[in-house]
Structure 1
């Protein structure tokens, strides 16, 4: 049976946009519930400035408090070397860096140009290589940007290649505002697969317009076997207006199982984690 990896984003991408500060103990409990579901990858938190994302100010405490399963890689998002040092000190198993395929989003999200962002990541990749910590790369706005409009596929391919060439073990292609369609997803993948091997790509879709599962099916047809998802459909990006709602992990798992793919996930335990996650939102 063909295996698909679901990379759980709920604790980080799911919660970062919540206005109400969530207790550290509840974040830890969410990760612990997810650890029982059969995931091999969980993105726990991000080491960003609390000034910009107050919800993630307790990143080190959350990583210190979780019950770690040795079969799971617990990841953290790191925008720069300072963030990387924090993640390393907190014993993150892997880290992620994020670039945008659109200039407008890069400026709004990390306050610099795309090329400047890539320069910032070079020391992170060098440090991670020396420390033997895997680095995952995210590309935002792979088909559409809330500021610049449609993203040319060649722009996405350029950034994906840059991150891959820098040493990222996998490139997650993010539909940040949930505007992708099967057609634009296909055009984007046609461009990206020419410069990054399909086996090194992941899909990250928001369900803003209820097209995430359609786009995932397109990706499966191209050979992608890793997808990001957030339990309970939590979250979105604070710098992408109106783009709340990652695709729900339980929806993706159900789709994959119906198509004969194995995920290794226990859907009953996942439903329990989903209920807890949704209660956190209130």
Structure 2
């Protein structure tokens, strides 16, 4: 374990995709476009903006092509799209995605329940997508759900996570996300997993994707920083949730993550004030307070200043 924290951390904003996809009420494309534009202006190096999955399964993402066509692209920002198959990849390519995201699970039980196949079969399904991404010069990111616990099988061994990391590495992934889908991870467990996967893939290309269901996300990010991880996913205003975990509060809030990182003297290149504004904007549209403590506190501080 390294005791020196990174000087710079890349924060991947997943609110427009992972955060909004479970919202039941349809969100107009122009609202999503405005959200992405606000996040782009804040300085994110990577924004997960779209998902080219069947509208039958994820109706909220049916406007992804319209969103990708309507956003103002900031130079230096990677706009990512989730692509479950070749049809999704072709749509992402046409929409100008600079990165496509493929996904599997560290839990066999979750893979069977969620995507109706084994982990091995899920990886095999993405071979064509991976090859097409490489052929077209598009970044390929792999995401591994249930890396710290599964709603069906319970505990997930670090070795099982490392095995999927190895498989995704062999597909040619440029970056791999270690995701705590149901938010059950704790700091020491997170460090064990990160240290184990480091034997298969460089930690500099590993991302932590933490949900805050049990209030452990910030602690888990700090624990990951101590191991040398310097890429983290977060969702503006804490948007999102997990349908498999009762009481899930969704992705860790970007405002809270930035407040932590900036307080540690770690550079992100992101303007926290602009992210607070973006969080308040989307929360006002959704008709509920943001789930970010730092965001709400900073917004309240402005109002009373």
TM-score (norm 1): 0.97
Say whether residues 1:9 and 2:4 are aligned partners.
no
- Post-superposition shift, 1:108? 2.5
Q: Is the 8 A contact 2:236 2:254 kept in 1?
A: yes
Q: Is the 8 A contact 1:105 1:147 kept in 2?
A: yes
Are residues 276 and 108 of structure 1, via their aligned partners in 2, closer, same or farther at CA, if it must alter by over 3 Å? farther
Asked if 2 retains the 8 angstrom alpha-carbon contact of 1:108 and 1:239, the reply is: no
1:174 to 2:182 alignment: no
What displacement does 1:244 show?
A: 3.7
Distance 1:116 1:242 in 2: 31
- 1:133–1:59: structure 2 CA closer, same or farther, 3 Å change rule? same
Mapped partners of 2:41, 2:204: distance in 1: 27
Q: What corresponds to 1:109 in structure 2? A: 114
Matched ranges for 1:17-166 at <5 A: 17-166=22-171
Report deviation, 1:161.
1.3
Q: 1:266 aligns with which of 254, 266, 271?
A: 271
- Partner Cα separation in structure 1 for residue 246 and residue 106 of structure 2: 17
Larger radius of gyration: 2
Q: Is the Cα contact below 8 Å between 2:162 and 2:196 reproduced in 1? A: yes
Quick check: 1:232 aligned with 2:237?
yes
Q: Once the 2 structures are TM-superposed, how far is the Cα of residue 241 of structure 1 from its aligned partner?
A: 5.0
CA distance in structure 2 between the aligned counterparts of 1:61 and 1:75, rounded to whole angstroms: 14
Gaps of at least 5 residues in structure 2 are 1-5, 288-305
Q: Structure 1 residues 235, 127: closer, same or farther in 2, change over 3 A?
A: same
> Counterparts of 1:149-228 in structure 2 under 5 Å?
149-228=154-233
Query: 2:283 — aligned with what?
Result: 278
Distance in 2 separating the partners of 1:37 and 1:125: 30
Residues 216-249 of structure 1: CA deviation (Å, up to 9, x unaligned): 0010001011000000000034455543410001
Question: Normalized against structure 2, the TM-score is what?
Answer: 0.90
Q: 1:107: how far off?
A: 2.0
Q: For 1:255 and 1:133, locate their aligned partners in 2 and report how far apart those are by CA, in whole Å.
A: 32
Paired residues, number: 282
| Structure 1 CA distance for aligned equivalents of residues 223 and 213 of structure 2 | 17
Contact 2:182-2:244 at 8 Å conserved across structures? no
Out of 245, 249, 255, the residue aligned to residue 254 of structure 2 is 249
CA distance in 1, matches of 2:113, 2:162: 21
Q: What is the aligned-residue RMSD (CA, Å)?
A: 1.2
Tell which deviates more after alignment, 59-68 or 183-192.
Answer: 183-192
CA distance in 1, matches of 2:151, 2:195: 23
Q: Give the Cα–Cα distance (whole angstroms) in 1 for the partners of residues 72 and 246 of structure 2.
A: 34
Equivalent position SS for 1:137: strand
How far residue 190 of structure 1 moved from its aligned partner, in angstroms, is 2.2
C-alpha distance in structure 2 between counterparts of 1:105 and 1:263, whole Å? 33
Q: Secondary structure at the match of 1:7?
A: strand
Structure 1: runs of 5+ lacking an equivalent = none
Structure 2 distance, partners of 1:280, 1:147, is 34
- 8 Å CA contact 1:16–1:237 kept in 2: the answer is no
